């Protein structure tokens, strides 16, 4: 897609260390190192935009938690800490597999790379399955604002405050839903990377996509590492 | 007048045989291109189309306001018209205008790179932009949206049966286009500068786009999440902003203006960069206080994130926070003033010539100064309470964004047109267009300051008869302004075929881009240059020309 690559490539541009170019080297970059650095920098910037994106939701959580503390305490007690903890474990494991996948790419071990990407994906899918059961439970309990909601479980708070639990669940679904959406995107990408890794694309020294995807996957993990205590654990000791 | 500039250089009778335009042929070679220059041209074409679409809505709004009675458009149609005008102009014209067209085209060349860091993401951002545009248009065709461009909740989530979700989706998608453009620029400027191109040798245009990119990358995602929440509230009924469920509509305003105030600087900063280039070139002087101008761009970007609440002074925020935000708002005037002072100081004792881009630049300085100063009025708490939601606001932001940004955009297009196309446009008619635009602009928007001060509210399709004279003036001005905008389309299109050959450096400018052939090669530089001078080294240029060093191509 980069036009005139052939026309622009003069060996004399790389006079110092003339070496064989990887097919993935794009010729508007002077060196492969520059390309790798640019890709990594771009990924960090993208993650910065993701932080700002989730930041809006965290801002809303902070505000409403402050205002409607009793509703938030009561509603957070209805979440299953067990399922949340299992999912945290699953996600940390997937993060470990992802890190191993990056290692495998960097040490040029094709089969291990494919295997670790596969394991990462299995963990990712397992996370979503658990999430599905959690959502189903919320549906069953009529805790889904807008679609199926009843304040019956929170009557002891008084009608006014009980209504405010809707805000908690709205944020719960918005935040975990946005997180799950990021997981789904990641899982689709992993399948694509597995196909390419199987062709040996990332084990010849061109590791930037795997490294950068690793950053993405860890970012998604970290978002959950914030969500789990904020949504599930924070009111553990509260009445 | 100086005699240094000789216009145009016709030493070569034809365009260069090989350039980025004729390097490949066919529609697909454009639609699948990774070349930043071609993508810049795609943007230029599509952005211009959306500009005239947004202008058509403005025309209808002005026509309606010709008479006090709301007789031309029904109230809800009128609401849809000004909403579409706002959405199209802001998200599809002003935000991408200079960065996506001129920035895309020239930033890599100015820093000595062969392309942006991520050419495919660059192309993707054009497609996202077009998708955003198509969604906006489909909302219009399906029946329109009448929330105003601010989507204020709970009006947008509960009370209007129009296509808020479709339009929100359009803005979400167009927002990603903006994020990717900003991301691409930042990475390119950090990682792809040619050897010797230090930060303080970069053209000010690059600096200002860098600052705008920071705003795009940090601000746009916040708008994105706000729009997502509005869409979720409308469709499935979650209650983050809904007061009936304890949600807070003010939270929406905070999230919305956290982006949308900095968005003003996304719009204006790249324009300021254009003005710096034009002023330096046509007064043949290094910009006075180069470093201060460069840093003032970054300062505007930083301060820009701390002023959003001044949009909410009358909406029930606390007096204390209103006071703090009033002060912070006025702080932005400092770096803006640094720019104006430094441009004036650059002009002082410069060898000034009045080419078309320079006329637009003068228009920019005059109009932006008025727009900026009235911004200080609005930042002052007491004045704001009197003037907000009146035509004073409308006049203020049109002075900043149309008088500022659009003038800068036109200055930039005229300045770099010879480089982009290899041809000159007819000089006398282009000067006429610049003057027409300026007069039309003043006539359109100055009466609105008075209207607003007298108390005419914005967003009403009928008004008391007392206000009619000023409204007629304003509508008449809009007609003149329309002519001023149509003229460039005609003569620039004409110049593509019949314009004189421009040669590589018709303005005797110093930037790297002017050392290349016009139009440039696909790969910009056959050999990456070593940069040993600042972007505005006119002595270096004179020396170079004396030596008659042949340029690339």
Condensed to tens digits (0 to 9), the pLDDT of residues A47-74 reads: 999 999 999 999 999 999 999 999 999 9
Q: Each residue of A107-121: pLDDT tens digit?
A: 999 999 999 999 999
Indicate the residue of B23, B239, B522 with minimum beta-carbon distance to A145: B239
Per-residue pLDDT at B546: 80
User: Which residues in A lie closer than 8 A to residue B239 (C-beta atoms)?
Assistant: 145-146, 166-167, 170
Omega before B113 within 30 of 0, i.e. cis: no
Phi, psi angles (nearest 5°) of residue B460: -110, 140
For residue B27, the number of C-alpha atoms closer than 13 Å in the C-beta half-sphere is: 0
Per-residue pLDDT at B548: 59
Per-residue pLDDT at B547: 76
Q: Check pLDDT > 60 for residue A19.
A: no
Judging by beta carbons within 10 Å of its beta carbon (0-12, 13-18, 19+), is residue B341 exposed, middle or buried? Answer: middle
In angstroms, the CA B465 to CA B462 distance is 9
Q: Coil, strand or helix: which one is B551?
A: coil
Closest-CA distance of chain B to residue A231, Å? 16
Asked if A192 reaches chain B (Cβ–Cβ under 8 Å), the answer is no
Closest-CA distance of chain B to residue A192, Å? 18
pLDDT averaged per 10 residues in sequence order, chain B, 553 residues: 42 78 92 95 97 96 94 92 96 96 97 95 97 94 91 88 90 96 97 95 97 96 95 89 89 94 95 97 95 96 94 88 93 94 95 96 96 93 91 96 95 97 96 97 97 94 95 97 96 95 93 93 91 90 74 46
Asked if A56 reaches chain B (Cβ–Cβ under 8 Å), the answer is yes
Indicate the residue of A26, A34, A56 with minimum beta-carbon distance to B226: A56
Residues 6+ away with beta carbon under 8 Å from B62? B444, B474, B475, B478
User: Which residues in A lie closer than 8 A to residue B526 (C-beta atoms)?
Assistant: 8, 10
User: Which residues in A lie closer than 8 A to residue B28 (C-beta atoms)?
Assistant: none
* Contact state of B23 with A3 under an 8 Å Cβ cutoff: yes
Q: Check pLDDT > 90 for residue A4.
A: no
Q: Are B146 and B187 in contact (CB under 8 A)?
A: no
End-to-end CA distance of chain B: 32
Per-residue pLDDT at A236: 86
Per-residue pLDDT at B3: 36
Asked if A38 reaches chain B (Cβ–Cβ under 8 Å), the answer is yes
Residues 6+ away with beta carbon under 8 Å from B231? B164, B165, B168, B169
Indicate the residue of A26, A52, A164 with minimum beta-carbon distance to B218: A52
Closest-CA distance of chain B to residue A98, Å? 25
Label residue A28 by pLDDT band (50, 70, 90): confident
Q: Which of residues 151-180 of A touch B (CB under 8 A)?
A: 163-164, 166-167, 169-171, 173-174, 178
Omega before B154 within 30 of 0, i.e. cis: yes
Percent helix, strand, coil in chain B, to 5, is 70, 0, 30
Nearest CA to B409 out of B351, B375, B368 is that of B368
* Contact state of B183 with A45 under an 8 Å Cβ cutoff: yes
Per-residue HEC secondary structure of chain A comes to: CCCCHHHHCCHHHHCCCCCCCCCCCCCCCCCHHHHHHHHHHHHHHHHHHHHHHHHHHHHHHHHHHHHCHHHHHHHHCCCCHHHHHHHHHHHHHHHHHHHHHHHHHHCCCHHHHHHHHHHHHHHHHHHHHHHHHHHHHHHHCCEECCCEECCHHHHHHCHHHHHHHHHHHHHHHHHHHHHHHHHHHHHHHHHHHHHHHHCCCCCCCCCHHHHHHHHHHHHHHHHHHHHHHHHHHCCCCCC
Q: Coil, strand or helix: which one is B15?
A: coil
* Contact state of A48 with B217 under an 8 Å Cβ cutoff: yes
* C-alpha pair distances (Å), A18 with each of B193, B349, B506, B527, B529: 22, 52, 39, 16, 20
Phi, psi angles (nearest 5°) of residue A201: -70, -30
For residue A173, the number of C-alpha atoms closer than 13 Å in the C-beta half-sphere is: 26
Among all residues of chain B, which has the CA nearest to that of A170? B238
Per-residue pLDDT at B543: 86
Q: Look up tokens 């295997």; give the residue.
A: A115
Average confidence score pLDDT of chain A: 89
| The dihedral sign for the CA sequence B316, B317, B323, B329 | negative
Closest-CA distance of chain B to residue A53, Å? 5
* Contact state of B119 with A2 under an 8 Å Cβ cutoff: yes
For residue B490, the number of C-alpha atoms closer than 13 Å in the C-beta half-sphere is: 10
Asked if A66 reaches chain B (Cβ–Cβ under 8 Å), the answer is no
Test mutation, A5, A29, A42, A139, chain B, max B CBs within 10 A: A42
Q: Check pLDDT > 90 for residue A16.
A: no
> What pTM was computed for the model?
0.92
* Contact state of B239 with A170 under an 8 Å Cβ cutoff: yes
User: Which residues in A lie closer than 8 A to residue B522 (C-beta atoms)?
Assistant: 3-4, 7-8
């Amino acid at each position: 897609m980069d036009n005139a690559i052939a026309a622009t490539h003069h060996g004399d541009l790389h006079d110092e260390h003339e070496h064989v170019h990887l097919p993935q080297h794009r010729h508007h970059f002077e060196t492969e190192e520059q390309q790798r650095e640019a890709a990594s920098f771009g990924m960090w910037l993208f993650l910065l935009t993701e932080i700002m994106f989730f930041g809006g939701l965290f801002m809303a959580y902070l505000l409403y938690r402050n205002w409607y503390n009793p509703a938030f305490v009561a509603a957070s007690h209805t979440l299953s800490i067990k399922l949340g903890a299992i999912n945290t474990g699953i996600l940390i494991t997937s993060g470990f597999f992802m890190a191993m996948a990056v290692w495998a790419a960097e040490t040029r071990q094709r089969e291990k790379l494919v295997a670790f990407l596969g394991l990462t994906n299995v963990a990712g899918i397992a996370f979503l399955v658990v999430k599905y059961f959690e959502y189903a439970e919320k549906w069953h309990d009529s805790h889904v604002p807008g679609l199926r909601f009843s304040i019956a479980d929170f009557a002891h708070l008084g009608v006014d405050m009980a209504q405010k639990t809707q805000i908690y669940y709205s944020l719960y679904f918005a935040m975990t839903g946005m997180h799950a959406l990021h997981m789904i995107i990641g899982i689709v990408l992993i399948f694509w990377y597995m196909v390419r890794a199987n062709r040996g694309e990332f084990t010849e020294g061109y590791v930037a996509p795997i490294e950068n995807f690793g950053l993405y996957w860890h970012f998604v993990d970290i978002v959950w590492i914030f969500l789990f205590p904020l949504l599930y654990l924070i009111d553990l000791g509260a009445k | 007048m100086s005699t240094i500039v000789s216009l145009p250089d016709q030493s070569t009778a034809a365009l260069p045989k090989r350039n980025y335009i004729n390097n490949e042929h066919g529609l697909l070679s454009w639609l699948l291109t990774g070349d930043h220059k071609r993508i810049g041209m795609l943007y230029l074409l599509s952005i211009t189309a959306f500009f005239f679409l947004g202008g058509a809505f403005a025309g209808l709004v002005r026509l309606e306001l010709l008479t006090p009675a709301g007789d031309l458009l029904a109230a809800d149609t009128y609401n849809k018209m000004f909403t579409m005008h706002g959405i199209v102009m802001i998200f599809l014209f002003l935000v991408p205008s200079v960065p996506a067209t001129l920035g895309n085209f020239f930033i890599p060349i100015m820093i000595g790179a062969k392309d942006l860091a991520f050419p495919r993401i660059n192309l993707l951002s054009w497609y996202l932009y077009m998708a955003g545009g198509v969604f906006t248009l489909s909302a219009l065709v399906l029946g329109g949206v009448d929330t105003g461009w601010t989507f204020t909740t709970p009006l947008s989530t509960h009370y209007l049966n129009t296509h808020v979700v479709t339009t929100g989706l359009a803005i979400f998608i167009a927002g990603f286009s903006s994020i990717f453009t900003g991301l691409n620029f930042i990475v390119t400027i950090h990682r792809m500068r040619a050897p010797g191109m230090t930060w303080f040798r970069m053209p000010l245009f690059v600096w200002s786009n860098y600052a705008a990119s920071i705003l795009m990358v940090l601000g746009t995602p916040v708008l994105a999440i706000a729009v997502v929440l509005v869409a979720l509230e409308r469709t499935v009924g979650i209650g983050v902003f809904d007061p009936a469920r304890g949600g807070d509509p003010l939270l929406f305003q905070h999230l919305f203006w956290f982006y949308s105030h900095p968005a003003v600087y996304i719009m204006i900063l790249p324009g300021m960069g254009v003005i710096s280039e034009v002023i330096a070139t046509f007064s043949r002087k290094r910009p006075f206080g180069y470093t201060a101008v460069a840093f003032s761009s970054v300062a505007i970007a930083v301060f820009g994130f701390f002023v959003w609440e001044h949009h909410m002074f009358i909406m029930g925020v606390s007096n204390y926070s209103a006071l703090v935000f009033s002060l912070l708002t006025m702080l932005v005037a400092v770096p803006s003033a640094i720019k104006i002072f430094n441009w004036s100081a650059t002009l002082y004792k410069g060898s000034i010539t009045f080419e078309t881009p320079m006329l637009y630049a003068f228009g920019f300085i005059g109009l932006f100064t008025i727009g900026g100063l009235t911004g200080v009025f609005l930042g002052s708490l007491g004045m704001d309470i009197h003037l907000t939601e009146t035509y004073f606001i409308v006049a203020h932001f049109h002075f900043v964004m149309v008088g500022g940004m659009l003038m800068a955009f036109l200055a930039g297009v005229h300045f770099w047109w010879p480089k982009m196309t290899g041809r000159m446009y007819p000089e006398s008619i282009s000067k006429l267009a610049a003057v027409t635009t300026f007069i039309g602009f003043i006539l359109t928007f100055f009466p609105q300051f008075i209207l607003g001060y007298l108390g005419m509210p914005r967003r009403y399709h009928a008004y008391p008869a007392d206000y009619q004279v000023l409204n007629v003036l304003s509508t008449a001005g809009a007609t003149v302004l329309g002519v001023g905008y149509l003229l460039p389309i005609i003569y620039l299109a004409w110049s593509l075929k019949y314009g004189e050959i421009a040669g590589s450096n018709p303005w005797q400018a110093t930037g790297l881009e002017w050392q290349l052939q016009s139009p440039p090669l696909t790969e910009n530089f056959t050999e990456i240059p070593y940069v040993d001078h600042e972007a505005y080294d006119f002595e270096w240029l004179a020396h170079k020309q004396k030596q008659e060093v042949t340029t690339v191509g």
